[in-house]
Amino acid sequence: MRKLLLATTAVALSAGAVSAEDIKIGVILGFTGPIESLTPQMGAAAEMAMAEVNARACTDVTGFGLMGHACNIARASQVTLSFDAASLPVFEGALELARAGVVSGGSARGKAALGDVVRVADGVDPDLVRITFDAETSGGLLICVPAEEAGTLEKALQAQDVPVHPVGEVLPAGDHSILLR
């Protein structure tokens, strides 16, 4: 079965390896595709590209879903991650399934657990919101890089045939860990 959403998320910063000041402003990039398209070569290409641009944080979207992993990064880094809902890569048919009520129980549990730290802007499709909280068993990468390096990372990944999607930005810490706008 294909996953409903394969977006990029973030690995919490290594203890003391990078200060929160280093990632106050940046860009979140992600890649997506069918599970069978994610290969070890893509992982190696992403690793090399991230080293080239001094990526600040990276994680794969897995059991905590996009919002759960993004919250981990935001909390550990003392920042706010802001996502552009319209830019989130979603598999064809995923929204229709969500509208039909086909989401895992993890979606509601994730939203209940994180609802106080995630601010969803008015007008964001509630079915997309459910997908962003849905637990994944395998996902893409959420990579946080300095804003001035985002284009370089994007080009390096594209040169290796790794699909990439800018999905948001890293902001100074605000009232919420995550903004979904």
- Which residues does residue 160 pair with via DSSP β-bridges, in sequence order? none
Instruction: Express each pLDDT in 55-112 by its tens digit.
Output: 888 887 777 888 999 999 999 999 999 999 999 888 777 788 888 887 778 888 889 9
> Residue 136 falls within a domain, yes or no?
yes
Better-scored residue on pLDDT, 6 or 29: 29
The SS3 call for residue 69 is helix
HSE (CB half, 13 Å, CA atoms) of 165? 21
CB neighbour list of residue 148: distance below 8 Å, 6 or more residues apart: none
Which residue range is the domain that position 37 belongs to?
20-180
Tokens standing for residue 132: 């962003």
Block residue for tokens 């909390």: 75
pLDDT of residue 17: 33
First-residue to last-residue Cα distance in the chain: 29
Better-scored residue on pLDDT, 5 or 56: 56
pLDDT of residue 124: 98
Block residue for tokens 């804003």: 147
> Residue 15 falls within a domain, yes or no?
no
Tokens standing for residue 37: 């398209």
> Residue 4 falls within a domain, yes or no?
no
Instruction: Express each pLDDT in 152-167 by its tens digit.
Output: 988 988 888 788 888 9
How many domains in the chain?
Answer: 1
pLDDT of residue 51: 83
| Angle, CA 63 vertex, CA 59 and CA 67 arms, to 5° | 65
Strands (E), the chain: 26-30, 57-60, 79-83, 118-120, 141-145, 165-172, 178-180
Please report, for the domain that includes residue 118, its CATH number. Answer: 3.90.650.10
pLDDT at 2 over 50: no
> Residue 10 falls within a domain, yes or no?
no
Instruction: Express each pLDDT in 121-150 by its tens digit.
Output: 999 999 999 889 887 655 678 888 888 888
Tokens standing for residue 78: 């003392």
